Each structure stands twice: as C-alpha cells, then as structure tokens.
C-alpha cells in the first residue's frame, strides 16, 4: 500500500465533558439510508487505523446531534475528533485503562431514559438517521478513558487552597445581580378566610416547586397575580419575624423557603448569598466551588497534555 503524505498536528482537543452530549430531539431529522461500509483506511494514528466509514459515521453523528452542515469543515472536524480519540485511548492503554462496556452501557441507559427510550430504542432512533450505535459508544468510551487518564496523571498536582475558593466565591457574589435574599410576596385580601389563604399557600407552593435558582425568580413571579419581589441583604434576615427568620437562617444558598403566612400576605424567600462570608460558610457551596476550580485546572492540564501527545504522535493522512 502506498503511503500518502505524513502530517503532524499540535491542536489540543482534550476535554473532560460528560458523555451525555446527545440531543435526541434532533432525531426528528429526515432518516438517511445507511450506505455500504467503506473500510478504506484514511488515517493511521500510531498504527491505529481510521477508515472512511469511521469518518462518515462521525459526520452523520455531528449532523444529527449538533446540527452541523455537511462539507469540508465538517469532514475536518469529524476527522480531528477521531484522531484525538485514538490518542486518548492509546494513552489509556499505556496506563492499563480501557473503556468498560458496562460503564458505557450505563451512560447509554441514562441518556435513553432521559429521553423516554430504552437502549434498544436509542439504537433504533440513531439507525434511522444512518448512525450506528457503536459510533456513540466509541465516543463515550474515549471520553471516559481520557477523564480517568487525566485524573490519574494530574489529580495530585492540582491542589485547591481555601484562598482560591474564597476568591472564587467573592468574585461570584460581587458579580451577581441575583445575590442576597429575594422576598416573594403574594398579597392576601383584607379579612381573607381560610379557603382563600389555603388557595394562596397552594399557589406559593406551586411557585416554589418551579424554582430553579435565583436567576428565575423574576420570571416565576410574573406568572402570579399581584406577586411582588423585594431584595433584602443577608443581614436583614435577622429582622424577619418567626418562622420566616428561622427558615431563611437554615436554608442553603440557592434554596427557596416554604411559604409563611402573615396577616397581609403569603411570603417566600429565595436565599441567593450576596455576601461572600455567607456563601463561604455553606459547605455545599464551597464543595461545589472547589469542584469547579478543580475541573478548570484539570481541563487546562488535559489540553496541554493532548498538545504534547499530538506533537509526538505519528499521524499519517492517506
């Protein structure tokens, strides 16, 4: 077989992203008939082959999940993804890390269930659009292996200090427009009877059930007749009456308290944590912030490591 020109690439495509990237809503695209497999070898990555079929499958996958348009740019993107994944799997093999079929299937099952399908239904849906389920499995397996590689090689090098966490919490709080405490007040008519109060409490409970964070308080309140929102400082919680004061004090940042009833209104409080000390005192917030910083550090390490791997790799484009 005659070899074509040999090229080396140094661009880093390493990522620790979770494998659940599939947008199944895209399956409403018109189905594409599966073509006969073309197994001509197009690329060798340290002797690991990538065929025409591999590239065409990845192109179809990207067209389906990311709404990419066919053309040279898509072919290049699909090709580079496959090259990167071959390198990721090779690094895994060096460390004795291989993709577990059971772990890959668990990810597939989770993806399918979140879209009201089972694994067979997911495979069928993909097949209708010309994508073999193995294309998705290969993608998931490479991501899982790469994540373990990066954790094993660099986890001990990345140490997050309390000062880093405090700084991140401070920046997050000072730059947020949804900090402090948000009071949502649903007014009651004068002399409201028990039935009216119960109906208003039920309305408040429904609002609380739809709460997804301080960013959507405004949109939630717009759907409730007469509802008003007032911003409070964290320290203002000490001036609230009981039981609202106790509920706010015990709530974690990002939570909304159960409704409390006063003579004039039913009230809810969303705890958004404007002050860094308040947020810093919440262990859940600190843990989440530490994980975020850790992930950012590891992503940087992963990108640098992939550049190094690609520079040293023998990549032959035929």
Residue 165 domain-assigned (yes or no)? no
From the number of C-beta atoms within 10 Å of its C-beta (0-12, 13-18, 19+), residue 189 rates as exposed
Note whether residue 107 is domain-resident: yes
- The DSSP code sequence of 206-240 is HHHHT---GGGHHHHHHTSTT-EEEEE-GGGGGGS
Return d(Cα 247, Cα 256) in angstroms, integer.
9
Proportion of the chain above pLDDT 70, given as a percent = 78
Asked if residue 122 and residue 73 are part of one domain, the reply reads yes
The answer to whether position 31 is within a domain reads yes
What average pLDDT does the structure give for the chain? 79
Q: How many domains does the chain have?
A: 2
| Digit-coded pLDDT (tens) for 22-32 | 444 344 333 44
Same-domain check for residues 181 and 150: no
Q: Determine the Cα angle at 95 with ends 111 and 78, to 5°.
A: 45
Q: Supply the range of the domain harboring residue 312.
A: 24-157+295-317
Mean pLDDT over 247-257 rounds to: 83
Q: How confident is the model at residue 8 (pLDDT cuts 50, 70, 90)?
A: very low
- Taking only the tens place, the pLDDT of each residue in 295-312 is 888 999 999 999 999 999
Q: Residues 149, 219: one domain?
A: no
What is d(CA 169, CA 172) in angstroms, rounded to the nearest whole number?
A: 5
Pairing of strands 48-51, 265-271: unpaired
Tokens (6 digits) for 52: 């025409």
Higher pLDDT among residues 11 and 191, named by residue:
191
Task: Specify the range with the lowest mean pLDDT, choosing from 10-24, 224-238, 277-291, 300-314.
Answer: 10-24
CATH number at residue 215: 3.10.50.40
Lowest mean pLDDT among 67-81, 138-152, 159-173, 200-214: 159-173
Q: Is 11 helix (H, G, I), strand (E, B) or coil?
A: coil
Q: Given pLDDT bands bounded at 50, 70 and 90, which one contains residue 72?
A: very high
Same domain flag for 36 and 146:
yes
Q: Report d(CA 189, CA 303) in Å as an integer.
A: 60
Evaluate whether residue 19 is within a structural domain: no
CATH classification at residue 32 = 1.10.4030.10
* Residue 57 and residue 137 in one domain: yes
Same domain, 65 and 144: yes
Same domain, 184 and 111: no
Contacts of 159 by beta carbon, 8 Å cutoff, 6+ apart = none
Question: What three-state secondary structure class fits 99?
Answer: coil
Question: H/E element holding 298?
Answer: helix 283-312
């Amino acid at each position: 077989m005659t070899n074509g020109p040999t090229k080396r690439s140094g661009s880093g495509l390493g990522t620790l992203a979770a494998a659940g990237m599939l947008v199944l809503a895209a399956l409403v695209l018109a189905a594409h008939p599966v073509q006969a497999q073309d197994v001509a070898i197009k690329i060798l990555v340290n002797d690991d082959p990538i065929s025409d079929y591999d590239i065409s499958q990845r192109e179809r996958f990207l067209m389906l999940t990311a709404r990419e348009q066919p053309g040279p740019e898509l072919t290049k993107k699909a090709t580079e993804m496959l090259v990167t994944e071959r390198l990721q799997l090779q690094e895994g093999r060096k460390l004795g890390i291989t993709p577990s079929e059971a772990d890959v299937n668990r990810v597939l099952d989770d993806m399918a269930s979140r879209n009201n399908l089972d694994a067979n239904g997911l495979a069928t849906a993909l097949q209708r659009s010309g994508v073999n389920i193995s294309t998705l499995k290969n993608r998931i397996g490479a991501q899982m292996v790469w994540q373990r590689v990066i954790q094993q090689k660099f986890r001990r090098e990345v140490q997050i200090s309390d000062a880093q966490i405090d700084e991140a919490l401070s920046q997050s709080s000072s730059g947020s427009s949804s900090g402090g405490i948000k009071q949502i007040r649903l007014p009651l008519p004068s002399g409201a009877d028990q039935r009216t109060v119960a109906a208003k409490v039920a309305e408040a409970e429904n609002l609380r059930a739809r709460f997804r964070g301080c960013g959507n308080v405004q949109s939630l309140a717009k759907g409730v007749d007469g509802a008003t929102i007032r911003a409070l400082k964290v320290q203002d919680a000490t001036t609230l009456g009981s039981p609202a004061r106790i509920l706010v004090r015990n709530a974690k940042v990002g939570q909304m308290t159960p409704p409390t009833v006063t003579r004039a209104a039913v009230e809810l409080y969303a705890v958004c944590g404007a002050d860094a000390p308040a947020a810093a005192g919440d262990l859940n917030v600190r843990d989440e912030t530490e994980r975020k910083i850790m992930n950012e550090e590891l992503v940087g390490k992963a990108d640098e490591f992939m550049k190094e791997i690609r520079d040293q790799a023998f990549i032959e484009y035929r």
